[in-house]
Chain A
């Protein structure tokens, strides 16, 4: 197991290196500059050149890459080019926790509701309930979250005035954004759980468990659920990485000062150091969460051999 994790960490580092290199050069291919200016006067051009020189952007690209990597090796992600006096680390450490709180809430919500709905639908003979779950999952997969967010804000925030729609101050503030980001995962998880639970219910070992005099619900929970959850665990790894890196649209709509909106902002502003910092941060999360989900899969299903 440890050997496997060590190998995965090594592969992860290689992936990170590739990600950093590719992002660095790709973002510089995009036309534009953090200091670009429509003013073509000589003075403006001179000022622009000075700024470029100050941040080392006038040097050859490969040399800039060398400098960046050297800084990175020392744990220095540099300063934001746009937000004066703020380091990239500062920006990540103030915005990431906000997004993570929302992301974790949404993750727990999606897992609980998705698995719950999936099991209920799989076990219930009621056509109505099954149709409801299938309808919900179709809607959840096809409705974009910004549309849902606007709809929720309008109905529950503006007309009914039950939930606040701006910021994340109190637990109540979490309700609408959580639902907005969770609908898609809830739909996916409930569908996955329903399908695999129905498959598991047909398995021979469920009959054997019943033949031992075990009560029906114990058979379902002890023998069925663990087998049925495997596809969900595989899905949960990328999902949590996705949720923790935030949604730009939802964060913007609910005025949440999270990392998702920083990411989009950094790209439109060509804030090179911030783009790099955020890419590294998110890439790291994705790699770690995928590794975690593989380890959990192996724990859920002992037939999965990680070492091979």
Chain B
């Protein structure tokens, strides 16, 4: 059984300009002990999908459709009789069964509270440990994520830590209650390259030690290749291709996936090859197109793409894409 399965999830935001359909009919699942990478550019709906799962959407965001099932338990907002009931349930789940690691370690820690009080919080929320035992556990966690002399540093404030160390603290918070699922929302984006590698190694190591499953959101294909077992590519609020890391890197089928791979430099290449950026910009989700969201930027766009949403093409048990080209009889099919 999957640790997490998301079926037909749709999320929208009500804004002054209108309704933004940030996530449209997204389905995926995460198996036990695996790392699922979710790749896409800014505004493709990656983070919104994760915030929908965690129930942490901003006040103007709502999950309009779909089911979110964590370890057999239905956590879709629609499965609860009231918002209060949902919130109550999510308070027990967040930080306990699933936890989140955030993008920017500089802004996600509370500047006026000691690390101790922030780190014991999930422990005290979800376990019956006393304050003192919780502090001991927090120190142990800090050691686990590689913070030197944790007994001393736990008394300090966030501004006394470097970016990489703060991200380690955020990771320690996420680990506090040994969650089944860790959602890492671009955990390395705000860090410099050497620290990035350390943090990714830490996440992989933790996954093995704690037996958690991880969803790793990123727009860095290098990160995906290095860490993920399976990959989902998101574009315009939809998953356009999904497969194992090998499928995505060696036999990409969607033009967007191919385009993304074309944007990656190869440092081992003897010639200085020019990069191939994807021209254009993502669709406006205030008025999402009826057909394929990638239409305007697709080098292989056809007439059918304009009016009809591509159907799912299944290549193998784990490899899917949504492109008319991949359908039987299509040019690349």
| A binding-site residues for B, Cβ under 8 Å | 125, 203-205, 207-216, 222-223, 226-227, 300-303
**How close is B268's CB to chain A, nearest CB, in angstroms?**
38
Which of A204, A205, A208 has most B Cβ within 10 Å?
A208
The reply on B248 being an interface residue by CB < 8 A is no
Chain B residue with the shortest CB-CB distance to A125: B59
Interface centre among A204, A213, A303 (most CB of B within 10 A): A213
Cβ-closest chain B residue relative to A305:
B159
Contact between B93 and A204, CB atoms less than 8 A apart = no
Chain A residues with CB under 8 A of B94: 210-213
Q: By the criterion CB–CB under 8 Å, are A227 and B87 in contact?
A: no
Contact A303 B110 (CB under 8 A): no
Q: Are B157 and A302 in contact (CB under 8 A)?
A: yes
Q: Does B325 make an interface contact (CB < 8 A)?
A: no
Which A residues are in CB contact (< 8 Å) with B159?
Answer: 302-303
From B51, which residue of chain A is reached at the shortest CB distance? A207
Query: Chain B contact residues (Cβ within 8 angstroms of A): what range?
Result: 20 to 34
**Which residue from B92, B102, B104, B107 sits with its C-beta under 8 Å from A213?**
B92
Q: Give the distance in Å from the alpha carbon of A303 to the alpha carbon of B111 in the complex.
A: 7
Whether the Cβ atoms of B108 and A300 lie closer than 8 Å is: no
Q: Judging by beta carbons under 8 Å apart, are B102 and A207 in contact? A: yes
Q: Which residues of A are found within 8 Å of B54, using beta-carbon distances?
A: 211
Q: B91 contacts A301, CB within 8 Å?
A: no
Known: A302-B157, A302-B159. A213 touches B125 (CB 8 A): yes
Interface string of B82-122 (1 = CB under 8 A from A): 00000100111111100110101001111111000010011
> How far, in angstroms, from A103 to B165 measured CA to CA in the complex?
47
Instruction: Give 27 A-B contacts (CB < 8 Å), ordered by A residue.
Output: A204-B102, A204-B108, A205-B108, A205-B110, A205-B111, A207-B56, A208-B102, A209-B118, A211-B56, A211-B99, A211-B100, A211-B102, A212-B95, A212-B121, A212-B122, A212-B125, A212-B173, A213-B92, A213-B93, A213-B94, A213-B122, A213-B125, A213-B126, A214-B125, A226-B112, A227-B111, A303-B159
Contact assessment for B91 and A215 in the assembled complex, using a CB-CB cutoff below 8 Å: yes
Q: Which residues of B contact A205 (CB under 8 A)?
A: 107-111
B135: CB under 8 A from chain A?
A: no
Closest B residue to A207 using CB positions: B56
CB neighbours of A204 from chain B (8 A)? 102, 104, 107-108
Q: How far is the CB of B13 from chain A (nearest CB, A)?
A: 15
Complex Cα spacing A223 to B121, Å: 11
Q: Is B245 an interface residue (CB 8 A)?
A: no
- Measured in the bound complex, the distance between the Cα atoms of B93 and A211 in whole Å is 9
CA distance in complex: A208, B171 (Å): 11
| A222 proximity list for chain B (CB < 8 A) | 113
Chain B residue at minimum C-beta to C-beta distance from A206 = B110
Cβ contacts under 8 Å, B100 to chain A: 208, 211
Does A226 lie within 8 Å of B56, measured CB to CB? no
Specify the chain B residue showing the minimal Cβ separation from A203.
B107
Contacts of B95 in A (CB 8 A): 211-214
Q: Nearest A residue to B170 by beta-carbon distance? A: A208
Q: State the CA gap A301–B112 with chains docked (Å).
A: 5
Min CB distance, B160 to chain A, in Å? 9
- Select from chain A the residue with minimum beta-carbon distance to B160: A302
How far does the alpha carbon of A226 sit from the alpha carbon of B87 in the complex, in Å?
24
A299 nearest CB neighbor, chain B only: B112
**Chain A residue, CB-CB nearest to B119:** A212
With contacts A213-B126, A301-B111, A302-B157 known, what are 8 further pairs, Cβ within 8 A? A207-B108, A208-B110, A211-B99, A214-B91, A226-B113, A300-B112, A302-B159, A303-B111
A249 to B64, CA, bound (A): 60
* B56 / chain A contacts, CB cutoff of 8 Å: 207, 210-211
Tell which of A300, A301, A302 has the most Cβ of chain B within 10 Å. Answer: A302
Report the bound CA distance from A216 to B54 in whole Å: 14
Q: Which 9 pairs between the two chains have the least Cβ-Cβ distance?
A: A213-B95, A212-B95, A212-B122, A204-B107, A213-B94, A205-B110, A208-B108, A302-B157, A204-B108
**B:101-155 near A, CB below 8 Å:** 102, 104, 107-113, 118, 121-122, 125-126
In the assembled complex, the Cα of A204 lies from the Cα of B125 at a distance in Å of 20
Closest Cβ of chain B to A217, distance in Å, is 11
How many Å from the CB of A125 to the closest CB on chain B?
8
- The smallest beta-carbon distance between B214 and chain A, in angstroms, is 15
CA distance A276 to B25 in the complex (A): 77
| A207, A211, A222: most-surrounded residue (chain B CB, <10 A) | A211
Contact partners of B173 in chain A: CB under 8 A: 208, 212
Write the nearest CB–CB distance from A239 to chain B, whole angstroms: 22
A300 surroundings in chain B (CB, below 8 A): 112
Inter-chain contacts of B59 with A (CB < 8 A): 125
Contact A208 B109 (CB under 8 A): yes
A211 to B90, CA, bound (A): 9
A209 to B112, alpha carbons, bound, how many Å?
Answer: 13
| Contact A223 B108, CB 8 Å, known A214-B121, A303-B157 | no
Minimum Cβ distance to chain A for residue B323 (Å): 35
Q: Given the complex of chains A and B, what is the CA–CA distance between A212 and B172 in angstroms? A: 11
